[in-house]
Amino acid sequence: MLIGNGHKEYKKKYKNNHNIKILGHKNNPDDYLRIFNTFIFPSRWESFGLSLLEAMRNNLPIITTVNEGNKDWIKKFNVTRFNIDNDNQLKKAILKHYLNKTKKQKYNLKNFQPNIIIKQIDNFYRVI
């Protein structure tokens, strides 16, 4: 299931494939995330990776690329990583999660709380 913007090419490519659902943007991603066993984030580029935090908030095991937007923080978390455009690594990761029946897990998202981030930004500008 693909949720979010920018999937027009896939809508055409997979329009007759009933195993792939392309939903577009949703204002209630948590309602969808709660039904999944694993979250896969195969992005080539992201500005940050907000959907990774949404998946973490829902305790989902994650399979992700390391890209420009998450390279500074994703390695601090217990997630399965694979190289961008490496289909074989992605297939192995999915199979491993499936065979191991990877369970939901808690993530420490303390550093992503708005009050902490705002304080860090404020301190940064005060130093400058």
pLDDT digits (tens, 9 = 90+) for 29-58: 899 999 999 999 999 998 888 899 999 999
119 and 88 both lie in a single domain: yes
Task: Check: CB of residue 39 under 8 Å from CB of residue 60.
Answer: yes
- Are residues 17 and 7 located together in one domain of the fold? yes
Q: Residue 49 has what pLDDT? A: 85
Per the structure, how many domains does the chain have?
2
Cut 0.85: pTM above it: no
Which pLDDT value is given to residue 55?
Answer: 96
* Secondary structure class of 40 (helix, strand, coil): strand
CA nearest 98: which of 52, 35, 36? Answer: 36
Instruction: State whether 45 and 57 are in the same domain.
Output: yes
Q: Are residues 19 and 48 in the same domain?
A: no
Give yes or no: residues 94 and 52 share one domain.
Answer: yes
Report the C-alpha gap between 24 and 22 in whole angstroms: 6
Residue 128 to residue 125: CA distance in whole angstroms: 5
Same domain, 67 and 123: yes
Statement: residue 127 has pLDDT above 90? yes
Contact 4, 25 (CB under 8 A): yes
Do both 80 and 95 map to the same domain? Answer: yes
Cβ burial, residue 57 (10 Å; 0-12/13-18/19+) = middle
Residue 58 sits in the same domain as residue 31: no
pLDDT in tens, 58-79: 999 999 999 999 999 999 999 9
The answer to whether residues 4 and 27 touch, using CB atoms and an 8 Å cutoff, is no
Same domain, 44 and 67: yes
Same domain membership, residue 52 and residue 9 = no
Mean pLDDT of 121-126: 91
- End-to-end Cα, the chain, rounded Å: 44
Full domain range(s) for residue 29: 1-35
Residues 119, 58 share a domain = yes
Q: Is residue 52 located within the same domain as residue 94?
A: yes
